[in-house]
Structure 1
Protein backbone atom coordinates (compact mmCIF):
# COMPACT_ATOMS: atom_id res chain seq x y z
CA UNK A 1 0.00 0.00 0.00
CA UNK A 2 2.85 2.38 -0.63
CA UNK A 3 0.85 4.04 -3.43
CA UNK A 4 -1.91 5.12 -1.08
CA UNK A 5 0.45 7.42 0.84
CA UNK A 6 0.99 9.53 -2.30
CA UNK A 7 -2.68 10.38 -2.69
CA UNK A 8 -3.44 13.97 -1.73
CA UNK A 9 -6.88 14.82 -0.41
CA UNK A 10 -7.27 18.41 -1.66
CA UNK A 11 -7.72 17.58 -5.36
CA UNK A 12 -10.07 14.75 -4.44
CA UNK A 13 -12.32 17.06 -2.43
CA UNK A 14 -12.20 19.73 -5.13
CA UNK A 15 -13.12 17.17 -7.81
CA UNK A 16 -16.08 16.05 -5.68
CA UNK A 17 -17.19 19.67 -5.42
CA UNK A 18 -16.79 20.18 -9.18
CA UNK A 19 -18.91 17.08 -9.84
CA UNK A 20 -21.69 18.17 -7.50
CA UNK A 21 -21.68 21.78 -8.74
CA UNK A 22 -21.50 20.74 -12.40
CA UNK A 23 -24.51 18.47 -12.05
CA UNK A 24 -26.35 21.12 -10.02
CA UNK A 25 -25.66 23.69 -12.73
CA UNK A 26 -26.97 21.41 -15.46
CA UNK A 27 -30.00 20.52 -13.35
CA UNK A 28 -30.71 24.18 -12.62
CA UNK A 29 -30.61 25.00 -16.32
CA UNK A 30 -32.52 21.96 -17.60
CA UNK A 31 -34.93 20.64 -14.94
CA UNK A 32 -38.19 22.57 -14.87
CA UNK A 33 -39.00 21.64 -11.24
CA UNK A 34 -35.93 23.49 -9.95
CA UNK A 35 -35.87 27.24 -9.59
CA UNK A 36 -32.98 29.00 -11.32
CA UNK A 37 -30.09 29.95 -9.07
CA UNK A 38 -26.75 31.54 -9.90
CA UNK A 39 -24.98 29.94 -6.92
CA UNK A 40 -24.23 26.52 -8.48
CA UNK A 41 -22.65 28.29 -11.45
CA UNK A 42 -20.49 30.47 -9.19
CA UNK A 43 -19.48 27.47 -7.08
CA UNK A 44 -18.63 25.46 -10.21
CA UNK A 45 -16.39 28.20 -11.59
CA UNK A 46 -14.60 28.71 -8.26
CA UNK A 47 -14.12 24.98 -7.60
CA UNK A 48 -12.89 24.32 -11.14
CA UNK A 49 -10.46 27.23 -10.88
CA UNK A 50 -9.11 25.97 -7.56
CA UNK A 51 -8.73 22.44 -8.95
CA UNK A 52 -6.85 23.80 -11.96
CA UNK A 53 -4.55 25.88 -9.74
CA UNK A 54 -3.88 22.80 -7.59
CA UNK A 55 -3.09 20.83 -10.74
CA UNK A 56 -0.61 23.50 -11.89
CA UNK A 57 1.13 23.91 -8.53
CA UNK A 58 1.67 20.28 -7.49
CA UNK A 59 2.09 17.35 -9.90
CA UNK A 60 -0.39 14.52 -9.55
CA UNK A 61 1.51 11.36 -8.75
CA UNK A 62 0.53 7.81 -7.96
CA UNK A 63 -3.18 7.06 -7.86
CA UNK A 64 -4.22 10.70 -7.41
CA UNK A 65 -5.58 11.16 -10.97
CA UNK A 66 -7.72 8.00 -10.75
CA UNK A 67 -8.99 8.93 -7.29
CA UNK A 68 -9.79 12.43 -8.54
CA UNK A 69 -11.84 11.00 -11.41
CA UNK A 70 -13.65 8.64 -9.04
CA UNK A 71 -14.43 11.54 -6.72
CA UNK A 72 -15.78 13.62 -9.62
CA UNK A 73 -18.06 10.77 -10.68
CA UNK A 74 -19.20 10.26 -7.08
CA UNK A 75 -20.24 13.92 -7.01
CA UNK A 76 -22.13 13.66 -10.31
CA UNK A 77 -23.99 10.45 -9.52
CA UNK A 78 -24.53 11.37 -5.87
CA UNK A 79 -26.22 14.65 -6.72
CA UNK A 80 -28.27 12.90 -9.37
CA UNK A 81 -29.48 10.39 -6.78
CA UNK A 82 -30.24 13.21 -4.33
CA UNK A 83 -32.18 15.14 -6.97
CA UNK A 84 -34.23 12.10 -7.95
CA UNK A 85 -35.00 11.45 -4.30
CA UNK A 86 -36.19 15.01 -3.89
CA UNK A 87 -38.32 14.87 -7.07
CA UNK A 88 -39.62 11.29 -7.51
CA UNK A 89 -41.47 12.22 -10.71
CA UNK A 90 -38.06 12.44 -12.45
CA UNK A 91 -37.68 8.68 -12.18
CA UNK A 92 -35.97 6.13 -10.01
CA UNK A 93 -32.64 6.76 -8.34
CA UNK A 94 -31.68 3.08 -7.97
CA UNK A 95 -29.00 3.10 -10.67
CA UNK A 96 -27.46 6.35 -9.44
CA UNK A 97 -27.29 5.07 -5.87
CA UNK A 98 -25.73 1.75 -6.91
CA UNK A 99 -23.11 3.44 -9.11
CA UNK A 100 -22.30 5.89 -6.31
CA UNK A 101 -21.88 3.09 -3.77
CA UNK A 102 -19.58 1.09 -6.07
CA UNK A 103 -17.47 4.19 -6.76
CA UNK A 104 -17.25 5.06 -3.04
CA UNK A 105 -16.10 1.53 -2.19
CA UNK A 106 -13.54 1.63 -5.01
CA UNK A 107 -12.25 5.02 -3.82
CA UNK A 108 -12.02 3.79 -0.23
CA UNK A 109 -10.00 0.78 -1.36
CA UNK A 110 -7.69 2.93 -3.49
CA UNK A 111 -7.06 5.40 -0.68
CA UNK A 112 -6.48 2.70 1.89
CA UNK A 113 -9.42 3.68 4.09
CA UNK A 114 -10.96 0.23 3.70
CA UNK A 115 -8.12 -2.25 3.69
CA UNK A 116 -8.37 -5.45 1.70
CA UNK A 117 -8.19 -8.57 3.83
CA UNK A 118 -4.80 -10.17 3.50
CA UNK A 119 -4.50 -13.93 3.20
CA UNK A 120 -1.92 -14.98 5.80
CA UNK A 121 -1.32 -18.66 6.36
Structure 2
Protein backbone atom coordinates (compact mmCIF):
# COMPACT_ATOMS: atom_id res chain seq x y z
CA UNK A 1 0.00 0.00 0.00
CA UNK A 2 2.85 2.38 0.84
CA UNK A 3 4.53 1.72 -2.53
CA UNK A 4 1.27 2.52 -4.35
CA UNK A 5 0.93 5.81 -2.43
CA UNK A 6 4.52 6.76 -3.28
CA UNK A 7 3.93 6.05 -6.95
CA UNK A 8 0.79 8.19 -7.00
CA UNK A 9 2.60 11.09 -5.35
CA UNK A 10 5.48 10.74 -7.81
CA UNK A 11 3.05 10.95 -10.71
CA UNK A 12 1.35 13.95 -9.13
CA UNK A 13 4.73 15.66 -8.74
CA UNK A 14 5.46 15.09 -12.42
CA UNK A 15 2.13 16.72 -13.37
CA UNK A 16 2.97 19.67 -11.11
CA UNK A 17 6.38 19.97 -12.77
CA UNK A 18 4.75 20.06 -16.21
CA UNK A 19 2.24 22.71 -15.17
CA UNK A 20 4.87 24.78 -13.34
CA UNK A 21 7.30 24.61 -16.26
CA UNK A 22 4.73 25.84 -18.73
CA UNK A 23 3.49 28.42 -16.23
CA UNK A 24 7.03 29.72 -15.70
CA UNK A 25 7.64 29.91 -19.43
CA UNK A 26 4.32 31.67 -19.97
CA UNK A 27 4.85 34.26 -17.24
CA UNK A 28 8.37 35.02 -18.43
CA UNK A 29 7.83 35.18 -22.20
CA UNK A 30 4.11 35.61 -22.92
CA UNK A 31 2.55 39.04 -22.25
CA UNK A 32 -1.00 37.70 -22.70
CA UNK A 33 -0.92 35.63 -19.52
CA UNK A 34 -1.06 38.60 -17.19
CA UNK A 35 1.39 40.13 -14.75
CA UNK A 36 4.72 38.51 -14.05
CA UNK A 37 4.82 36.21 -11.02
CA UNK A 38 7.56 34.37 -9.13
CA UNK A 39 5.25 31.61 -7.87
CA UNK A 40 5.47 29.29 -10.91
CA UNK A 41 9.26 29.38 -10.62
CA UNK A 42 9.11 28.58 -6.90
CA UNK A 43 6.71 25.69 -7.44
CA UNK A 44 8.87 24.38 -10.29
CA UNK A 45 12.02 24.39 -8.16
CA UNK A 46 10.29 22.76 -5.18
CA UNK A 47 8.58 20.08 -7.28
CA UNK A 48 11.80 19.18 -9.09
CA UNK A 49 13.64 19.01 -5.76
CA UNK A 50 10.96 16.75 -4.23
CA UNK A 51 10.96 14.46 -7.27
CA UNK A 52 14.76 14.27 -7.18
CA UNK A 53 14.73 13.37 -3.46
CA UNK A 54 12.10 10.71 -4.12
CA UNK A 55 14.29 9.34 -6.92
CA UNK A 56 17.30 9.15 -4.58
CA UNK A 57 15.51 7.61 -1.59
CA UNK A 58 12.98 5.18 -3.09
CA UNK A 59 13.38 2.57 -5.80
CA UNK A 60 11.31 2.91 -8.93
CA UNK A 61 9.29 0.05 -10.33
CA UNK A 62 9.55 -1.11 -13.92
CA UNK A 63 7.93 1.27 -16.37
CA UNK A 64 7.73 4.11 -13.86
CA UNK A 65 10.06 6.55 -15.71
CA UNK A 66 7.90 6.23 -18.81
CA UNK A 67 4.77 6.99 -16.76
CA UNK A 68 6.48 9.94 -15.08
CA UNK A 69 7.39 11.42 -18.45
CA UNK A 70 3.90 10.91 -19.82
CA UNK A 71 2.34 12.55 -16.73
CA UNK A 72 4.79 15.43 -17.17
CA UNK A 73 3.58 15.84 -20.76
CA UNK A 74 -0.01 15.61 -19.53
CA UNK A 75 0.59 18.56 -17.18
CA UNK A 76 2.43 20.52 -19.85
CA UNK A 77 -0.24 20.06 -22.53
CA UNK A 78 -3.05 20.43 -20.01
CA UNK A 79 -1.87 23.84 -18.89
CA UNK A 80 -1.27 24.84 -22.51
CA UNK A 81 -4.86 23.87 -23.39
CA UNK A 82 -6.13 25.78 -20.35
CA UNK A 83 -4.21 28.94 -21.30
CA UNK A 84 -5.38 28.83 -24.89
CA UNK A 85 -8.97 28.28 -23.76
CA UNK A 86 -8.86 31.23 -21.38
CA UNK A 87 -7.03 33.44 -23.93
CA UNK A 88 -8.42 32.69 -27.41
CA UNK A 89 -6.10 35.25 -29.02
CA UNK A 90 -3.18 32.88 -28.26
CA UNK A 91 -4.47 30.42 -30.84
CA UNK A 92 -6.17 27.07 -31.03
CA UNK A 93 -5.83 24.40 -28.37
CA UNK A 94 -6.50 21.55 -30.81
CA UNK A 95 -2.96 20.11 -30.72
CA UNK A 96 -2.82 20.18 -26.92
CA UNK A 97 -6.24 18.56 -26.61
CA UNK A 98 -5.32 15.81 -29.07
CA UNK A 99 -2.07 15.14 -27.18
CA UNK A 100 -3.98 14.89 -23.89
CA UNK A 101 -6.40 12.38 -25.40
CA UNK A 102 -3.55 10.29 -26.85
CA UNK A 103 -1.71 10.24 -23.52
CA UNK A 104 -4.91 9.32 -21.66
CA UNK A 105 -5.55 6.51 -24.16
CA UNK A 106 -2.01 5.27 -23.53
CA UNK A 107 -2.72 5.19 -19.78
CA UNK A 108 -5.88 3.18 -20.33
CA UNK A 109 -4.08 0.67 -22.54
CA UNK A 110 -1.20 0.42 -20.06
CA UNK A 111 -3.49 -0.05 -17.06
CA UNK A 112 -5.57 -2.67 -18.85
CA UNK A 113 -2.45 -4.60 -19.82
CA UNK A 114 -1.19 -4.42 -16.23
CA UNK A 115 -4.56 -5.61 -14.91
CA UNK A 116 -4.62 -8.49 -17.40
CA UNK A 117 -1.08 -9.45 -16.35
CA UNK A 118 -1.96 -9.33 -12.63
CA UNK A 119 -5.15 -11.32 -13.16
CA UNK A 120 -3.23 -13.89 -15.21
CA UNK A 121 -0.65 -14.26 -12.42
CA UNK A 122 -3.41 -14.72 -9.83
CA UNK A 123 -5.11 -17.34 -12.01
CA UNK A 124 -1.84 -19.20 -12.53
CA UNK A 125 -1.14 -19.18 -8.78
CA UNK A 126 -4.61 -20.50 -8.07
CA UNK A 127 -4.22 -23.29 -10.64
CA UNK A 128 -0.78 -24.12 -9.29
CA UNK A 129 -2.14 -24.44 -5.77
CA UNK A 130 -4.94 -26.67 -7.02
CA UNK A 131 -2.56 -28.77 -9.08
CA UNK A 132 -0.20 -29.12 -6.10
CA UNK A 133 -3.11 -30.31 -3.98
CA UNK A 134 -4.13 -32.74 -6.70
CA UNK A 135 -0.57 -34.06 -7.02
CA UNK A 136 -0.36 -34.49 -3.26
CA UNK A 137 -3.68 -36.34 -3.20
CA UNK A 138 -2.48 -38.58 -6.04
CA UNK A 139 0.73 -39.29 -4.16
CA UNK A 140 -1.19 -40.24 -1.02
CA UNK A 141 -3.56 -42.47 -2.98
CA UNK A 142 -0.73 -44.15 -4.89
CA UNK A 143 1.36 -44.79 -1.77
CA UNK A 144 -1.68 -46.24 0.01
CA UNK A 145 -2.01 -48.88 -2.73
CA UNK A 146 1.46 -50.27 -2.10
C-alpha distance in 1 between matches for 2:10 and 2:109: 17
Q: TM-score scaled by structure 1?
A: 0.83
2:39 matches 1:20: no
Corresponding residue of 2:105: 105
Uncovered stretches (5+) of structure 2, i.e. residues with no partner: 117-146
State the Cα distance separating 1:9 from its structure 2 match: 1.4
Partner of 2:86: 86
Larger Rg: 2
CA gap 1:82/1:92 in 2 versus in 1, 3 angstroms:
same
Q: Which 5+ residue runs of structure 1 have no aligned equivalent?
A: 117-121
Q: CA RMSD in A?
A: 2.2
Q: Deviations over 1:25-73 (max 9, x none)?
A: 0000011112101111111111110000000011212111111010000
Alignment partner, residue 68 of structure 1: 68
Change (3 A) 1:115 1:89: farther
